[in-house]
Structure 1
Amino acid sequence: MISRDLTFVLGGARSGKSVYAERLASQSALPVTYIATARVAGDAEFNARIAHHRARRPAHWRLLEADLDLAGAVAQADAPGHCTLIDCLTLWLANLLCPADGEPLPPAEYQARIEALTTALATSRGKIIAVSNEIGLGVVPLGAATRLYVDELGRLNQRIAALSSQATMMVAGLPLALKTAGAA
């Protein structure tokens, strides 16, 4: 049985996963730290998405931004009687594999960061809610870089789901329980 309080919320784009995760954090009645992984870009549409997420968050939630050192941010936020919401693993992995400066991290370095994150989540003491996209339901991508990203996100999602006490898949705004508390 898993003793940690780790909820994993995943789904496709615009599936309602962030809104659902935010609702879970609010309903916890605990102080919340929101860890944002999105990197502000020169893309006006993406920046509008970030602004929408910012506007929707309660003002009293603490904010940490973690584009690369997500394990460090989790360690900083985690505490008994506290809720940490990570939104999202998809963008964090993109930051590792497709950085703004164009130079991806070497495989050993991004794998070390993934390992550090899973260790931080496995040893967490508070409530953690992690959001990620499920992007592996389509065809195998043609480009090598895209295949690497899809494969690595699939592996990351599997690791987080295995650590989680609860996992929910969002489809069309509807939560589908994949794993409930107490399930192996």
Structure 2
Amino acid sequence: MSKSSSTVSDWRGLLVLGHAASGKSAWAEAETLRQAGDPVYVATARVLDAEMRAKVDQHAARRGLDWTLIEAPTELAATCARAAAGQVLLVDCATMWLTNLMMDAADWKAPAEAWIAAMAASPARFVVVSNDVGGGVTPDNPLARRFQRAQGALNQRLAAAMDAVVLVTAGLPQRLK
């Protein structure tokens, strides 16, 4: 068996979609490192329990020390606006960012547009990881249904704004755009 080493080279903005535990973050990290530039990891997760701490620690160990880390659970527009030429920012992930805003009962649409505009105006390159949450069953509660619809809308907006979109399944990338 051969391991896929597919790369996507003609982008300034790349959206990496996948389901939970699909390998999307690991693939996005490797793709970020394949690019010329200084890798910057923009973490959106809030560490609220031991399980999330373990996941964050696992991601950090996999990345190693070559990355600059920026923690930005809600302020992606400001973070991306500060990005410099020669940097490749990996935002991991849009799903946690959206979750944070929704749990704070904050609007997500205006911040999403500001974030997308900041990426478009920046001289840096961007890789955005996001969960594809529409492939499962319809959730059984109103908050989860609102989240699923919002995540789908955010993914569609990000996909329209990015130069390239990749779907990762079982660690294998499939270029969609």
Query: What TM-score, normalized to structure 2?
Result: 0.90
Residue 34 of structure 1 contacts residue 63 of structure 1 at CA under 8 Å; is this kept in 2? yes
Task: Point out where structure 2 has 5 or more consecutive residues left out of the alignment.
Answer: 1-9
What amino acid is the match of 2:71?
E
* From 91, 96, 102, the counterpart of 2:101: 96
Match of residue 26 from structure 2: 19
Q: How far apart are the structure 2 equivalents of 1:145 and 1:30?
A: 40
* From 152, 155, 176, the counterpart of 1:154: 152
Match of residue 17 from structure 2: 10
Match of residue 54 from structure 2: 48
What amino acid is the match of 2:61?
A
Q: How far apart are the structure 1 equivalents of 2:13 and 2:122?
A: 8
Residue 67 of structure 1 contacts residue 92 of structure 1 at CA under 8 Å; is this kept in 2? yes
Match of residue 30 from structure 1: 37
Q: CA deviation at 1:169?
A: 0.2
Q: How far apart are the structure 1 equivalents of 2:27 and 2:87?
A: 18
Which secondary structure state, in structure 2, belongs to the residue aligned with residue 39 of structure 1? coil
* From 125, 128, 143, the counterpart of 2:123: 125
After TM superposition, list the pairs within 5 Å mapping 1:55-70 onto structure 2: 55-70=61-76
Deviations 1:45-78 (A, max 9, x none): 12100110111113131111001111111112x2
What amino acid is the match of 2:23?
G
Q: CA deviation at 1:4?
A: 6.5
Task: Point out where structure 1 has 5 or more consecutive residues left out of the alignment.
Answer: 180-184
Match of residue 139 from structure 2: 141
Deviates further, 166-175 or 52-61? 52-61
Match of residue 84 from structure 1: 89
RMSD value, Cα: 1.4
Which secondary structure state, in structure 2, belongs to the residue aligned with residue 38 of structure 1? coil
Match of residue 182 from structure 1: none
Cα 1:34/1:117, change in 2 over 3 Å: same
Equivalences, count: 168
Q: How far apart are the structure 1 equivalents of 2:59 and 2:80?
A: 19
Which secondary structure state, in structure 2, belongs to the residue aligned with residue 86 of structure 1? strand
Query: What TM-score, normalized to structure 1?
Result: 0.87
